[in-house]
Amino acid sequence: MKVLVTGGAGYIGSVVTERLLAEGHETTVLDDLSEGHRDAIPAAASFVEVDLRDRAALRGALAGRSFEAVMHLAASCLVGESMENPGKYFENNLSAGVNLLEETMPLGVDRIVFSSTAATYGDPETIPITEDFPTEPTNSYGASKLLFESVLAWYSRLKGLKWIALRYFNAAGAASEERGEDHDPETHLIPLVLKAAAEGGEVQIFGDDYPTPDGTCVRDYIHIRDLADAHLDAMRAMERGIEGPFNLGNGAGFSVREVIQVSEAVTGKSIRSRVAPRRPGDPPSLVASSKRAREILGWNPQRGDLKGIIESAWQWHLARPDGYRSAAT
């Protein structure tokens, strides 16, 4: 299939691209490289560099091309930032998405896999979370993703677009020593904990007075390869008429303190930490039920163990301590 991957230079998009190519799909990456890395894009993919917010530039960049499916991962995705700069989130995650639909459907696209998030649920009353839970985001990041899900439902109803939204829980780990997590600035827990392990720095724990077993936030960490595989499952499922949102997680929650403890075991180093104020917009606990993805998409995650996830991230960190700026080994 001819597939366009937006955000294909990013952490998750580059691994999705790798998996698509491995299954023989003709794959084009679209990215503005504002946060992604040119070196993360697999060599066999075509590359279009353009900002999705600029509709005229988008039309020009895609002129003469055709695609059957889109995997839409390009986004801003930081909870804390979204509480300070909501405009950035609604522009990048909502308006840019509408541009993408308007400019790619005339090129032949009739299906889209959308990178959504657990942040669409807000602060659920119980866990694990199923797809029929209320969606009441506590941050503008989650709100922007949820709004775009309803845009997709309208395009399905009015234009026949097939859509699946994958509500990621916490993407983590590295696909290989070639592709892993590299954000600038890095704000995610696992890479920051591993950097502290390697360099002797201190990890901030954002709040220890949440209603969770040890008072720190609980998240469901999922290996990047398992996450990437779900995109291919979703693309196939749309051929069977399946649509809608699907959770992707392991169904096991780990607190910030537990992530630090497992990282100490993996790295063999002691990691200093300090309790800091809560981060605005953070729900206490997000743990998925992915029963629907397993049963309906046929998703079969293989790498659910947190220790293995952190080991893969540690191998990536050792191979490339400065991410893509480090020379390949």
* Contact footprint for ligand UDP (CB under 6 A): 79, 170, 187-189, 192, 203-206, 217, 219, 256, 279, 282
Q: Which of 282, 71, 264, 51 is nearest to 163 (CA)?
A: 71
Question: CB 105 → ligand UDP: shortest distance, Å?
Answer: 30
Pick 28 or 290: Cβ nearer ligand UDP: 290
141 is catalytic: yes
Question: CB 201 → ligand UDP: shortest distance, Å?
Answer: 11
3-state secondary structure of 210: coil
Two structure tokens written together for 121: 């649920």
Two structure tokens written together for 270: 């002691």
Question: CB 159 → ligand UDP: shortest distance, Å?
Answer: 31
Q: Around Cβ 139, how many Cβ atoms within 10 Å?
A: 23
Pick 31 or 220: Cβ nearer ligand UDP: 220
Pick 156 or 204: Cβ nearer ligand UDP: 204
- Residue located via tokens 């904990």: 193
Question: CB 210 → ligand UDP: shortest distance, Å?
Answer: 8
Q: Which amino acid is at 42?
A: P
- In residues, how long is the chain? 329
Q: What is the CA 216 to chain-centroid distance, rounded? A: 22
φ/ψ (deg, to 5) at 54: -95, 95
Question: CB 327 → ligand UDP: shortest distance, Å?
Answer: 27
Pick 27 or 170: Cβ nearer ligand UDP: 170
C-alpha–C-alpha distance, residues 211 and 214, integer Å: 8
Half-sphere exposure in the Cβ direction for 94 (13 Å, CA):
17
User: Is 160 buried (19+), middle (13-18) or exposed (0-12) by CB count in 10 A?
Assistant: exposed
User: Is 291 buried (19+), middle (13-18) or exposed (0-12) by CB count in 10 A?
Assistant: middle
Element (H, E) at 28: strand 26-31
**Which residue of this chain has its Cβ atom nearest to ligand UDP in the complex?**
217
Q: Which residues share a beta bridge with 244?
A: 164
Pick 57 or 275: Cβ nearer ligand UDP: 275
Q: Are 141 and 77 in contact (CB under 8 A)?
A: yes
| Catalytic annotation, pick one of 89, 121, 141, 210 | 141
Question: CB 85 → ligand UDP: shortest distance, Å?
Answer: 15
- Catalytic residue numbers, as ranges: 141
